[in-house]
């Protein structure tokens, strides 16, 4: 029975076999559709570049708000310990329930600082490009899948259909987690470490590089449970292998975090810890998945 299925699959693939020229023509069509989708998404993103820029800067504003609150406590302690005048650090005539930013004479700015005349323009452009790619990604990935699917067997297609949607959702979850949690807390902890001696002055290029590398790395990291489950379901890796090499993976997580994040231990640990937790999730899922596969095979 299995041989008949394999023969029918081989016959189907033979019937859809294309010449090199037909492959190139098919690839060209897929690339054109993907490019059109990206250009349209870029046009829409550029139309809202200021709004999207505000969205990208929201984690920074949260971090700056926390830093200014800490700065108020630092200055209040200096006033008590050194007998300094409050007017040295705080504005006069401000209500007591005002925000830390409103109370401080020189609060940490929540606006990004550019190093050149074109810094703002290129920041808008990069933000628009990344949002355009995210918006067009479903169409681009669909075109890629349509090009590849013609040469796959039905069981290989089933594997992709089963895990690919979950993979996309996990990638999006990693980006959202990085954007809403890792970026603001990473900025806060990095700046808070030296807040009493160095004034934090966020720059456009540094902030964009920070948010881009962190969110992209977390999107990749969140693929770990799906990868582990898929390898276990296919019988390539036994779940016991994951349990045996837990300690080794801790070292891998630290090395990966060191490569994918800025060179500071706080941000690296903020990435390494979720990696270890995701590894444990992947291990549990692989055990369940392998049991299901064994039960289906013995039925």
Q: What is the pLDDT of residues 119-157, one digit of tens each?
A: 899 999 999 999 999 889 888 888 887 787 766 667 667
Highest-scoring range by mean pLDDT, 32-41, 227-236, 240-249: 32-41
Q: For residue 196, which of 18, 73, 74, 47 has the smallest C-alpha distance?
A: 74
Handedness of CA 256, 262, 265, 266 (dihedral sign): negative
Per the CB < 8 A criterion, the answer to whether 229 and 159 are in contact is: no
- Is residue 254 domain-resident? yes
Look at residue 11 and tell me if it is in a domain: no
Give domain status of residue 117, yes or no.
Answer: no
Cβ-in-10-Å burial (0-12, 13-18, 19+) of 218 comes to buried
Residue 9 domain-assigned?
no
SS3 call for 104: strand
Q: How confident is the model at residue 1 (pLDDT cuts 50, 70, 90)?
A: very low
Burial class (CB in 10 A: 0-12, 13-18, 19+), 92: exposed
pLDDT(216) > 80: yes
- For residue 256, pLDDT over 50 is answered with yes
Q: What is the pLDDT of residues 80-125, one digit of tens each?
A: 988 888 888 889 888 878 888 888 988 998 889 888 888 899 999 9
Q: Compute the radius of gyration of the chain from its Cα atoms.
A: 26
Provide the domain count of the chain: 1
**Which domain covers residue 34, as residue numbers?**
20-85+123-293
Residue 253 lies in a domain: yes
pTM of the entire structure? 0.79
Neighbouring C-beta atoms of residue 85, cutoff 10 Å: 8
Predicted pLDDT at 242: 92
Q: Kindly state whether residue 198 falls inside one of the protein's structural domains.
A: yes
**Residue 48 — very low, low, confident or very high, per pLDDT cuts 50/70/90?**
very high
Residue 2's pLDDT is: 47
Any domain includes 166: yes
Does residue 91 lie in a domain region? no
According to the model, what pLDDT value does residue 17 have? Answer: 62
């Amino acid at each position: 029975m299995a041989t008949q299925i394999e023969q029918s699959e081989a016959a189907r693939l033979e019937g859809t076999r294309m010449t090199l020229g037909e492959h190139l023509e098919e690839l060209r069509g897929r690339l054109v559709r993907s490019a059109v989708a990206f250009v349209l998404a870029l046009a829409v993103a550029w139309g809202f570049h200021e709004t999207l820029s505000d969205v990208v800067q929201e984690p920074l504003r949260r971090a700056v708000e926390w830093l200014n609150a800490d700065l108020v406590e630092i200055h209040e302690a200096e006033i008590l310990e050194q007998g300094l005048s409050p007017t040295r650090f705080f504005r006069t005539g401000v209500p007591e329930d005002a925000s830390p930013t409103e109370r401080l004479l020189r609060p940490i700015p929540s606006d990004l600082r550019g190093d050149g005349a074109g810094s703002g323009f290129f920041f808008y452009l990069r933000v628009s490009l990344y949002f355009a790619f995210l918006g067009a990604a479903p169409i681009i990935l669909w075109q890629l899948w349509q090009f590849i699917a013609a040469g796959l067997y039905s069981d290989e297609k089933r594997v992709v259909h089963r895990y690919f949607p979950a993979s996309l959702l996990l990638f999006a979850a990693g980006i959202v987690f990085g954007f809403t949690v890792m970026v603001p807390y990473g900025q806060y902890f990095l700046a808070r470490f030296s807040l009493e001696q160095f004034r934090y002055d966020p720059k456009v290029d540094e902030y964009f590089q920070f948010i881009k590398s962190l969110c992209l790395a977390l999107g990749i990291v969140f693929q770990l449970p799906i990868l582990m489950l898929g390898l276990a379901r296919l019988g390539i890796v036994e779940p016991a292998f994951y349990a045996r090499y837990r300690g080794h993976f801790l070292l891998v997580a630290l090395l990966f975090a060191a490569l994918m994040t800025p060179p500071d231990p706080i941000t690296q640990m903020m990435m390494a810890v979720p990696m270890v937790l995701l590894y444990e999730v992947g291990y549990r899922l692989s055990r369940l998945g392998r049991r299901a596969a064994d039960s289906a095979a013995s039925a």
